[in-house]
Chains A and B, each alone.
Chain A
Amino acid sequence: NAGVTQTPKFQVLKTGQSMTLQCAQDMNHEYMSWYRQDPGMGLRLIHYSVGAGITDQGEVPNGYNVSRSTTEDFPLRLLSAAPSQTSVYFCASTTGSYGYTFGSGTRLTVV
């Protein structure tokens, strides 16, 4: 039972490049979310999903796209990377109000 798996763990991008952060969970959780963590800002919700085929925007969705074609996977796409997207990204999943399980994070630097 791997829980929530994020890849890659580290990434450096040039401004304007695109990439996809992968997130997979093997707990059959309905709900999945993406957060970014910045110093002094806490964790801010980017996008979330309440089931396969259903996604919605969080607090800071601009510059990011998501899709949820399966229950297990919830990739986050950066369309055209900007230095302001330098952050640590966390994926999380849950069945409901029992608390989210988090992945180990992706540390992204945009230069």
Chain B
Amino acid sequence: AQRVTQPEKLLSVFKGAPVELKCNYSYSGSPELFWYVQYSRQRLQLLLRHISRESIKGFTADLNKGETSFHLKKPFAQEEDSAMYYCALYNQGGKLIFGQGTELSVKP
């Protein structure tokens, strides 16, 4: 079964602290994984694709096939990072499957 799990509903950190949002997946094949961000009451925006191995707004994510994980990390959180973050798995049939989301709250 194809599944994405984000174990934390809420993650609260102080400004300047490191952040790690966890994502685990279940997929029988070579996964294509994404992180999306949703700021308050706005549309979802693509943050990262594992294929591109890029860093956006200081965030990075590494695919670990052994642990079936794609955790999102940032060394120093900023207040403007407060948002909902969704991990998503794309299958070749055109379906994008989301995790339940993690709300990140960065306190001053």
Contact = CB atoms under 8 A, between A and B. Distances in A.
Interface residues of A, number: 27
Interface string A52-83: 00000010000000000000000000000000
A99 B43 contact: no
A42 B100 CA distance: 4
Interface of A: 30-31, 33, 35, 40-45, 48-50, 58, 90, 92, 94, 96-105
Given A43-B86, A90-B44, A100 B100 contact: no
A41 B100 contact: yes
Given A99-B34, A99-B49, A48 B43 contact: no
Contact of B42 (A43, A101, A104): A104
B93 A45 contact: no
B87 to A, nearest CB: 9
- B9, B49, B95: most-surrounded residue (chain A CB, <10 A): B95
A105 B94 contact: no
24 contacts: A30-B94, A31-B94, A33-B96, A42-B6, A42-B100, A43-B86, A43-B101, A44-B98, A45-B96, A48-B94, A49-B94, A58-B95, A90-B43, A92-B44, A94-B94, A94-B96, A98-B49, A99-B34, A99-B46, A99-B49, A102-B43, A102-B44, A103-B43, A104-B43
